[in-house]
């Protein structure tokens, strides 16, 4: 009996911790249904009359729909490119093992060790010189470039886990490398591809600094809009922040809810692949 009692306590504790970490999100979502006055009321109002005013106002903003579209298009395109390129690169690293593979892999990842502020100025100057500023393609390529190193790392781990004997069986039976990559390897590393996809999506989805600096009106995504629109009419526009954030939360929440098991796979570099 005491075991059951401990278990209940344990579960209660887990719920408590989870709710604690969820409370800012809850505050945002609740605030989006409050009037501007209710949001800042002291003491905070837990019971209030919900209103959709904020949402109506949000969707009436000129740029909102374009910014939402930008967010979706930029992240999906960038991540698709990144995952495709990374998959092919990871295959080559894993199978052909060029001299110095380990060092190359380290070099590749080192780009993620740089703080963004260290590279933002040169990147900005480069984009201006190329005429890529405010070009969606330019932003997509930048995000893809930034996403590739980590994806190569994840995917190389997964492809290393697929025995080269599978490739050999295909090759002996007359398959091309194209066939080996897409028909033999790909179906076996699908969890890795999805994990890489999610990880990069989270990064690109929330990226604001580069978009703000090297992008422009045509490329601004929701994080940039939040950043630039937060301060309005001589104060912080909490209703706007809460509403836009609530809408912005929906796609990743749905996506991650359905693919969360792959997230675990990605974090552990495929070591728990067997459970998926």
Residues that bind other proteins (CB under 8 A): 163, 165-166, 168-176, 179, 184, 187-188
Q: How far is CA 258 from CA 22, 80, 155, in A?
A: 19, 19, 21
Cβ neighbour number for residue 89 with a 10 Å cutoff:
18
Tell me whether residue 59 or residue 177 sits nearer to other proteins (CB atom).
177
Residues near 162 by beta carbon (within 8 Å), at least 6 away in sequence: 185, 188, 189
Q: Give the orientation angle of helix 136-160 with respect to helix 190-205, to 10 degrees.
A: 150
Tell me whether residue 112 or residue 190 sits nearer to other proteins (CB atom).
190
Tell me whether residue 159 or residue 241 sits nearer to other proteins (CB atom).
159
Helical (H) or strand (E) element with 67:
helix 64-96
Distance in Å, CB of 110 to other proteins, minimum: 31
Query: CB pairs under 8 A, 24+ apart, for 14-23?
Result: none
Distance in Å, CB of 179 to other proteins, minimum: 8
Tell me whether residue 163 or residue 228 sits nearer to other proteins (CB atom).
163
Which among 112, 141, 133, 266 has a CA at the least distance from the CA of 198?
A: 266
Tell me whether residue 8 or residue 190 sits nearer to other proteins (CB atom).
190
First to last CA, the chain: 33
Distance in Å, CB of 178 to other proteins, minimum: 12
Tell me whether residue 45 or residue 179 sits nearer to other proteins (CB atom).
179
Distance in Å, CB of 183 to other proteins, minimum: 9
Distance in Å, CB of 188 to other proteins, minimum: 6
Tell me whether residue 5 or residue 165 sits nearer to other proteins (CB atom).
165
d(CA 110, CA 129): 25
φ/ψ of residue 231, rounded to 5: -105, 110
Distance in Å, CB of 221 to other proteins, minimum: 36
CB 198 within 8 A of CB 255: yes
Distance in Å, CB of 94 to other proteins, minimum: 16
Which among 226, 218, 220, 217 has a CA at the least distance from the CA of 244?
A: 226
Q: Give the orientation angle of helix 64-96 with respect to helix 238-267, to 10 degrees.
A: 20
């Amino acid at each position: 009996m005491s075991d059951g009692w401990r278990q209940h306590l344990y579960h209660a504790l887990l719920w408590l911790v989870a709710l604690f970490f969820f409370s800012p999100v809850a505050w945002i979502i609740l605030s989006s249904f409050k009037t501007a006055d209710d949001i800042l009321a002291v003491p905070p109002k837990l019971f209030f009359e919900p209103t959709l005013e904020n949402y109506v106002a949000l969707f009436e903003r000129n740029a909102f729909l374009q910014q939402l579209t930008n967010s979706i298009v930029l992240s999906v395109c960038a991540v698709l490119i990144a995952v495709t390129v990374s998959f092919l690169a990871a295959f080559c690293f894993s199978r052909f093992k060029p001299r110095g593979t380990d060092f190359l892999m380290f070099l590749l990842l080192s780009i993620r060790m740089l703080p963004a502020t260290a590279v933002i100025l040169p990147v900005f100057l480069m984009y201006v010189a190329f005429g890529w500023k405010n070009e969606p393609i330019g932003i997509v390529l930048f995000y893809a470039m930034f996403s590739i190193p980590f994806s190569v790392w994840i995917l190389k781990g997964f492809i290393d886990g697929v025995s080269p004997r599978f490739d050999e069986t295909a090759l002996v039976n007359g398959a091309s490398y194209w066939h080996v990559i897409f028909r033999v390897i790909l179906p076996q590393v699908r969890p890795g591809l999805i994990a890489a996809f999610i990880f990069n999506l989270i990064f690109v989805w929330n990226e604001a600094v580069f978009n703000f600096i090297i992008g422009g009106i045509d490329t601004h995504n929701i994080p940039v809009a939040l950043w630039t629109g937060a301060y309005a009419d001589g104060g912080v526009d909490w209703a706007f922040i809460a509403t836009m954030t609530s809408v912005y939360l929906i796609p990743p929440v749905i996506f991650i809810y359905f693919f969360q098991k792959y997230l675990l796979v990605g974090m552990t570099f495929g070591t728990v692949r067997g459970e998926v």
